[in-house]
Amino acid sequence: MPSMLDQTMMLTPDGVRFVAIHPKVVETIRGWVERGSQSREAGGILIGSYRGDHVEVSGSTVPMERDKRTRGLFDRMDRGHQEAAMQAWRSSGGTESYVGEWHTHPEAHPSPSVLDRWTWDRIMRRVREPVVFAIGGWDSCWWGIGAGARVEVMRMLSSGWDIV
């Protein structure tokens, strides 16, 4: 397991909560960003654990067969994502599970669309804990955290990929 120094470290806007993102998660997101006129969005869930006020993102799923992928949309429809979260829960003795969502945008510096924010609002209504959201682009990755009814941009403390 990577040390804390090897991870991308984010700080929430209130300065209270840290989010640690394992390098393999960053590489997974980066690996699914497509360029070109035929590019399609990709995505999955983020798997990790809550450690007091902090979140550790240690894994992710990737697009699966039943997911819907178009140039302007990723719709997570395959039950394999839920099964991966449940498997993480079982194998960790109940310490790891779903902590968020990631997807890509076919642009250099992504930011949330109206549809992204609407989808995240629906997710946050069902989840008690803070939820981590990531959007990967060609040159950077947007990271946010949602709690209650708001999603706020997180501030990067260390990373191997530009974060906006």
Residues whose CB falls within 8 Å of the CB of residue 115, separated by 6 or more in sequence, listed in order:
73
What element of type H or E holds 80?
A: helix 80-91
Contact between residue 131 and residue 120 where contact means Cβ atoms under 8 Å apart: yes
Residues whose CB falls within 8 Å of the CB of residue 119, separated by 6 or more in sequence, listed in order:
101
The catalytic residues are 41
Distance CA(77)–CA(125), nearest Å, equals: 19
